[in-house]
Structure 1
Amino acid sequence: MSNSIFGTRRGSAPVPLSLLDFAMAGKGVAARDALADSIKLARLADRRGFTRYWIAEHHAMPGVTTSSPPLLLARLTGETQHIRLGAGGMMLPNFPPLVVAEQFGLLASLAPGRIDLGIGRAPGTDMATAAALRRGDIGSEAFPKQLDELLHFLDGSFPEGHRYRKEGVYAVPGPLQDQENGIPRSFARPPVWLLGSSDYSARVAAQMGFPFAFAAHLADQNVDMAIKIYRERFRPSALLDRPYVIASFGVMAADDADEARRQAWAYSHAMMRMSTGRSFVIPGPDEARDYAYSTGELRLMEMWNAKIMSGTGEQVVGQLARWHQRINADEMMILNLGYSQQAIYRSTELIADAYGMPDDIGSASHA
């Protein structure tokens, strides 16, 4: 089994802990400021010993700035030293597989051994925006075929007789670049993770022997089923000889539990808006508190808010521990959900403290 994809338990942490980021831009916050704060957050995660820093792909959502994970990841390769960087994930139907292979081949060459490629099959946006991205009919894509093509580009492994092999189409940077340049094969492609919030990707990941990441922050009601299916149906591969699963959860910690709940409620307001056909905008906590909710809106608010673990750092870590005891994930991933980037940064600090992570992995000894 390849150790390169594994998380490392830091300090007294029970299992590896990672971060998922949206570069949140709350109401009144410019994209440049949200991105600057995400860079600071990645530096913090690197210093505190988080295993991964993954960036999600979303489009046409004013509250989310990560429309192009590879661009932000390229910047982060120079801002971090230890942490694995990745997409959580690239929505494959939005791109030609060759484009994804080239982007992540470039990233893997910039930061060898530190890049993860998470793949999803959802659009990461509304259907009208998805149509604009894809320039075609939504639903016409064959995800398994796209994934197979991507893997062939990453490995330089199209079979004899395939059009791309005959015509010399390959990803650069990639393994065939070394071959054409007459040097020993030096390219090591990033590991591919399959992402999902239902059992579909769990089944595909199990069949292919790939690591699997489940988005419990979106569908915690499906996490038990998906992980069970993945583990029961897993087939060993050259990458993995046993299943490896990450579960991601929405969190918000603060020095004061009430402030954590205020921040989480503001995020839930944006999810309520999106669920009712409006744009995803995160209001300030006071605006969210004072909003006159209809019965239906309040029901949606409570549904989304129930998915977020909020409170002090110790309280959030306690909730994470209960989830881990229930699902026994190999790695846990957190997504800080609130209005303020300052609050998100502080939430990360508090959770790292409560999780028993070192202050600075550059100077601290750890397990």
Structure 2
Amino acid sequence: MAIPLSLLDLAPIAPGQSARDSLAASVDLARAAEAAGYRRVWYAEHHSMPSIASSATSVVIGYVAAHTESIRLGAGGIMLPNHSPLVIAEQFGTLATLYPDRIDLGLGRAPGSDQATMYALRRNPASAESFPQDVQELQGFLAGKSLVPGVQAVPRPDAPVPLYILGSSLFGAQLAAKLGLPYAFASHFAPDALHQAIRVYRDTFEPSEQLAEPYAIAGVNVIAADDHDKAVDQMTKSYRARTRAFITRGPVARNFTDAEIDEFLASPSGRQLSQMTRYTAVGTAAEVQDYLETFAKEAGADELITAHHALDTADRIRSVQLTAGL
């Protein structure tokens, strides 16, 4: 692959698996990505989701960093309105002190949860409105140039932690361009504005101390296997599991059969859900690589962050390896 590849690990807790199993699998996946030459592994902040183990994102990063050697690790992303900038600066300053030149900090403004969970996090619904100011406050803490008189983030690493703006709309693209930061678009689950957002980002980018030229990352789903039919089977099982988790959120207790899930996916609501994963590479190594190269070119991306969705850890690791050409 000519374009740099990275990995988004959603730390999934598969049916019959524990959160401890999931976090052990995250270590195995990061080691595989490191050996395969991936640039970075990111973990996303999600709350109150029984199928995702990365809610304490900075803790997961530290755990994986302790079990890997060189690959960059980071948040893709921290939902900054859930936290004070000072706390995040302290967490990521600590990580970068322990693991120099290996830590990234991607920032988003979504809740990463539903409304009830948002309130449980003590988040003010209006907190997203101050996201641009909070990013700059955080940036100041990490660089030792605090915007809050008399307050500093400790520990502070020798070099500032690089910031990335995450988004799925034009807002993030415009903010990243204005602040001169790299921009990562969540096209792996919110594909609609991908091309326009990256175009706006590139057209309006202003150089900064961190970044001289625009740098765009695009998310894409991947299921690679040693033969095409096996990859398709893994995709079918994975998206059934994802759909089952989606439609059984809340008080619903029943377990839907595969036939019922397939019937839902064929409905208008199901097709809308399927459109969220429009950008998915599935097949053999050659098929996946061809898809990714075309996708990157059409999107105008400088780097791809790949989300591998096979349910079995060994299959996800194999997908990571095949995508990298191993």
The alignment's TM-score, normalised by the length of structure 1, stands at 0.81
Per-residue CA distance 1:22-55 (angstroms, 9 max, x = gap):
1111111111111111101111111111101111
Q: Which residue of 1 aligns with 2:281?
A: 309
Q: Which residue of 1 aligns with 2:153?
A: 171
Task: Give SS of 2:76's match.
Answer: strand
Establish whether residue 262 from structure 1 lines up as the match of residue 244 from structure 2: no
Task: Give SS of 1:117's match.
Answer: strand
Per-residue CA distance 1:294-338 (angstroms, 9 max, x = gap):
424542454245432211121111110111121231111101013
Letter in 2 for 1:172: V
Deviation at 1:152, TM superposition (A): 1.9
Runs of 4+ in 1 over 3 A off after TM superposition: 269-277, 286-292, 304-307
Q: Which residue of 2 aligns with 1:21?
A: 9
Per-residue CA distance 1:96-115 (angstroms, 9 max, x = gap):
11110000000111111111
Among 226, 233, 255, which residue is 2:204 paired with? 233
Identify unmatched segments of 5+ residues in structure 1: 1-12, 175-185, 354-358, 360-367
In structure 2, C-alpha distance between the alignment counterparts of 1:86 and 1:29, rounded to whole Å:
24
In structure 2, C-alpha distance between the alignment counterparts of 1:343 and 1:301, rounded to whole Å:
24
In structure 2, C-alpha distance between the alignment counterparts of 1:251 and 1:104, rounded to whole Å:
29
Per-residue CA distance 1:58-104 (angstroms, 9 max, x = gap):
11112211111211111222222221111111110111111100000
The alignment's TM-score, normalised by the length of structure 2, stands at 0.91
In structure 1, C-alpha distance between the alignment counterparts of 2:320 and 2:309, rounded to whole Å:
11
Establish whether residue 205 from structure 1 lines up as the match of residue 192 from structure 2: no
Establish whether residue 143 from structure 1 lines up as the match of residue 131 from structure 2: yes
Q: How has the CA–CA distance of structure 1 residues 274 and 149 changed in structure 2, closer, same or farther, with 3 Å as cutoff?
A: farther
Q: Which residue of 2 aligns with 1:75?
A: 63
State the aligned residue count: 320
Task: Give SS of 2:132's match.
Answer: helix
Task: Give SS of 1:24's match.
Answer: coil
Deviation at 1:238, TM superposition (A): 1.1
Per-residue CA distance 1:235-257 (angstroms, 9 max, x = gap):
01111111011111011111232
Radius of gyration: which is bigger?
1
Among 215, 218, 221, which residue is 1:244 paired with? 215
In structure 1, C-alpha distance between the alignment counterparts of 2:273 and 2:212, rounded to whole Å:
42
Task: Give SS of 1:310's match.
Answer: strand
Deviation at 1:351, TM superposition (A): 1.0
In structure 2, C-alpha distance between the alignment counterparts of 1:289 and 1:258, rounded to whole Å:
20
Task: Give SS of 2:125's match.
Answer: coil
In structure 2, C-alpha distance between the alignment counterparts of 1:292 and 1:224, rounded to whole Å:
30
Q: How has the CA–CA distance of structure 1 residues 110 and 275 changed in structure 2, closer, same or farther, with 3 Å as cutoff?
A: same
Task: Give SS of 2:190's match.
Answer: helix
Task: Give SS of 2:263's match.
Answer: coil
Establish whether residue 49 from structure 1 lines up as the match of residue 14 from structure 2: no
Contact 1:120 1:195 in 2 (8 A): yes
Task: Give SS of 2:145's match.
Answer: coil
Contact 1:272 1:300 in 2 (8 A): no
Q: Which residue of 1 aligns with 2:73?
A: 85
Establish whether residue 330 from structure 1 lines up as the match of residue 312 from structure 2: no
Letter in 2 for 1:55: Y
Letter in 2 for 1:335: A
Q: How has the CA–CA distance of structure 1 residues 115 and 136 changed in structure 2, closer, same or farther, with 3 Å as cutoff?
A: closer
Contact 2:240 2:262 in 1 (8 A): no
Q: How has the CA–CA distance of structure 1 residues 226 and 254 changed in structure 2, closer, same or farther, with 3 Å as cutoff?
A: same
